[in-house]
């Protein structure tokens, strides 16, 4: 239980840090660095969510978390890392709450 709580806070921290770093890089006209920051902020949340969904499916539960997984993954695949980072922050923040 404690490990899951720490993991949730770590994912929120990663999402906030990556989103912030990307915003600063974008303001400095470093769009490649901004995209990288946003991608790196999204990827751990996608991985954590995929593990959570797999665990829920094995327990016979299915929820709306799959929508967040699809939206973050699609944003990264379509070259929209800012959108993915925003969804990652929304999901991980909501998960902590």
Mean pLDDT over 4-19 rounds to 94
pTM of the model: 0.90
Spatial distance between the Cα atoms of 75 and 57, rounded to a whole number of angstroms: 24
Alpha helices in 2-78 (DSSP H): 2-27, 31-58, 65-77
pLDDT of residue 1: 80
Q: Give the integer Cα–Cα distance in Å for 15 and 1.
A: 21
How far apart, in Å, are the Cα atoms of 28 and each of 8, 17, 67? 30, 17, 33
What residue has token string 């890392």? 81
Q: Would you say 91 and 12 are in contact if contact means Cβ atoms under 8 Å apart?
A: no
Q: How confident is the model at residue 62 (pLDDT cuts 50, 70, 90)?
A: confident
């Amino acid at each position: 239980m404690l490990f899951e709580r720490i993991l949730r806070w770590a994912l929120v921290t990663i999402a906030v840090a990556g989103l912030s770093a990307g915003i600063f890089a974008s303001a400095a006209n470093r769009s490649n660095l901004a995209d990288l920051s946003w991608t790196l902020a999204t990827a751990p949340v996608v991985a954590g969510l995929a593990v959570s969904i797999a665990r829920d499916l094995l327990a016979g539960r299915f929820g709306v978390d799959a929508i967040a997984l699809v939206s973050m993954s699609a944003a990264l695949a379509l070259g929209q890392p800012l959108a993915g980072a925003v969804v990652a922050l929304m999901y991980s923040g909501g998960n902590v709450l």
